[in-house]
Structure 1
Amino acid sequence: MITSMTGFAARKGQGAGYSWGWEIRSVNGKGLDLRLRLPDWIDGLEPLVRAELARALNRGNVSLTLKVTSELGDTALRLNPTVLRSVLVAMAEVDHAARETGLTLAAPTAADLLTLRGVLDASAAAEDTAPLRALLLADLAPLLAEFTAMRNAEGAALAAVLGAQLDRVAALTGDAAREAEARRPAMAQTLRDNLARILGAAEGIDETRLAQELALLAVKSDVTEEIDRLTAHVAAARALLAEPGQVGRKFDFLVQEFMREANTLCSKAQSVALTRIGLDLKAVIDQMREQVQNVE
């Protein structure tokens, strides 16, 4: 069964003196694009989360956000000396460069420095974040299970829509086959009339060349191959709908082949009825292409 690349899940948890909230969402994409917003003070969390997502997902633009809040009453702001030292060095370099160009910069206050990102760390009270990291990773599994379940449900709905569209393509292909058969006597008569006019107006015509031209005209008006290919494509698409795994790229290529045959059918139609069927086919196939963009 196919899976959709569209999905959403959210989850809350608590432990080790913290509470947290997850939120994950995804839309269609050509590959797997992970965009993570995680607390950077939890050591080693991001690479582990990224690895878990890569194992669970194959395609889609995926955004995951985690917000962690301390529930400890004695949590206090702490100065991060490493970041502060880097800020002071950078400020000294900026001040020196400004003086060389004749500029005098206003000296920042301590309050100005404390507002810079990373100088004050409200989470530094938890020196060992390994227990919290373990709890978060354990909580990630049910989040991904909920997320996958939604993508599977979306995939089932998507399969139903695509199945109905394939039914429509199959019906139109049958209509095209019947119309092509019904026009056969008229096409044959038109060919005979044209041949009679040519033979009556020309003397010493090369019969071999004439036969080749007539054969070419017959091929250009014959839509049997296009109808056969459309029928085969419908069968292949139904098989993809039932195939486990990621079939989005295969389905996208197959829809392109559907459109190619519909375009050729229209170009060979030579009748209003067959042209109308071809245009209806193109409309349905275009709708299929929009749906297939969401298949993983």
Structure 2
Amino acid sequence: MIYSMTAFARKQLKGDWGTAVWEIRSVNQRYLETYFRLPEQFRGLETKLKESFRKRLERGKVECSLRFEANSTSSTSLCMNKVLATQLIQNAEWVVKEMGTGQVNPVDILKWPGVMQAPEQDFDALNSELMAGFAETLNDFVDSRAAEGANLGVLIEQRLIAISEQASKVRAFMPEVHAWQKARILKKFEDAKVDLDSTRVEQELVLLAQKSDVAEELDRLDSHISEARNILKKGGAIGRRLDFMMQEFNREANTLGSKAINTDITAAAVECKVLIEQMREQVQNIE
């Protein structure tokens, strides 16, 4: 299966504790990079979240966010860390005294991380529910990457077919090209009023044939097409391998263009380069 590095998933959770929303999005990246935006009281989940991503993903810049809104009508009582609150008040009062202005805001003290906490047992249960919701969101996210990856695979296959068709056109042109080369050489000898030496003519034709022979480039293009299809069929984290194949495709298309001696072959070479660039852009999105 092919996976895109561009995807998005969102899931809302509701419980007696309130409402939570998980969101996961990703864009192209050479390696796997994860970023988290979590409420302070859930920072402890970050290690587990990172491990979950590492098990399921290979590449991409992934952003994961959690929005949490506690239920104000919940019967769950909060505990105050009175030691921490006392220290904060004392320090805040010292700052006010030194500045000679302002006052301590009780709400700011209560908002300080760690001052108000849910009972440990309830907090563990909440974490479990949130992680279960994250697992579902991650499944949706991976499914989204797979669906987009399948679409990318179809687009790449279409380009591979088109490149193969261009290669076949060039092969069909070659007998005509060789005949035109021979007639051109004979015409040059005739215009120069030089006695035709069969050996000399043969040598000139061999040299021209070597300069314009594109059979090797066409064979390599066919080989690259076959290898690209094998990579697509294998699936998994194939983005880097396909990116390397695009470089190989470009090399053959450039050589084909440099050897082109008529407009038909030139047009085919240009079309191949356009198709390869289109594939390269799609490959950049593949994991």
Identity level (%): 33
Matched, 1:258 2:249: yes
Q: Give the Å deviation of 1:79.
A: 6.9
Output the amino acid matched with 2:140: E
Aligned match of 1:273? 264
Q: Give the Å deviation of 1:284.
A: 1.0
Matched, 1:5 2:12: no
Aligned match of 1:283? 274
Q: Give the Å deviation of 1:138.
A: 2.1
Aligned-partner SS, 2:14? strand
Matched, 1:66 2:33: no
Q: Give the Å deviation of 1:131.
A: 2.2
Q: Give the Å deviation of 1:76.
A: 6.4
Aligned match of 1:243? 234
Instruction: Pick one of 223, 242, 257 that aligns with 1:232.
Output: 223
Output the amino acid matched with 1:119: W
Aligned match of 1:175? 169
Unaligned runs of 5+ in 1: 96-103, 201-206
For the 8 Å contact 2:85–2:109, the answer to whether it is kept is: no
Instruction: Pick one of 120, 125, 132 that aligns with 2:118.
Output: 125
Task: Map 1:62-141 to 2 at 5 A.
Answer: 62-71=62-71, 72=74, 82=84, 85=87, 107-111=101-105, 115=108, 119=112, 124-128=117-121, 129-141=123-135
Output the amino acid matched with 1:4: S
Q: Give the Å deviation of 1:19.
A: 2.6
Equivalent-residue separation in structure 2 for 1:259 and 1:47 (angstroms): 42
Aligned match of 2:50? 50
Two-structure CA RMSD over aligned residues (Å): 3.6
Equivalent-residue separation in structure 1 for 2:232 and 2:110 (angstroms): 50
Q: 1:214 to 1:44 in 2, by over 3 A?
A: same
Aligned match of 2:148? 154
Q: 1:107 to 1:197 in 2, by over 3 A?
A: farther
Equivalent-residue separation in structure 2 for 1:195 and 1:77 (angstroms): 103
Output the amino acid matched with 2:67: K
Unaligned runs of 5+ in 2: 195-199
Q: Give the Å deviation of 1:161.
A: 1.0
How many pairs does the alignment contain?
278
Output the amino acid matched with 1:167: I
For the 8 Å contact 1:43–1:130, the answer to whether it is kept is: no
Aligned-partner SS, 1:110? coil
Give the TM-score normalised by structure 2: 0.82
Output the amino acid matched with 2:232: L
Summarize deviations over 1:43-74 as a string: whole Å, max 9, x none. 63110111111111111111111112222256
For the 8 Å contact 1:80–1:118, the answer to whether it is kept is: no
Equivalent-residue separation in structure 1 for 2:207 and 2:87 (angstroms): 82
Give the TM-score normalised by structure 1: 0.79
Equivalent-residue separation in structure 1 for 2:87 and 2:130 (angstroms): 31
Aligned-partner SS, 1:295? coil
Instruction: Pick one of 179, 195, 209 that aligns with 1:185.
Output: 179
Equivalent-residue separation in structure 2 for 1:186 and 1:269 (angstroms): 13
Q: Which one has a larger percent helix, Structure 1 or Structure 2?
A: 2
Equivalent-residue separation in structure 2 for 1:140 and 1:26 (angstroms): 15
Q: 1:236 to 1:184 in 2, by over 3 A?
A: same
Equivalent-residue separation in structure 2 for 1:83 and 1:175 (angstroms): 80
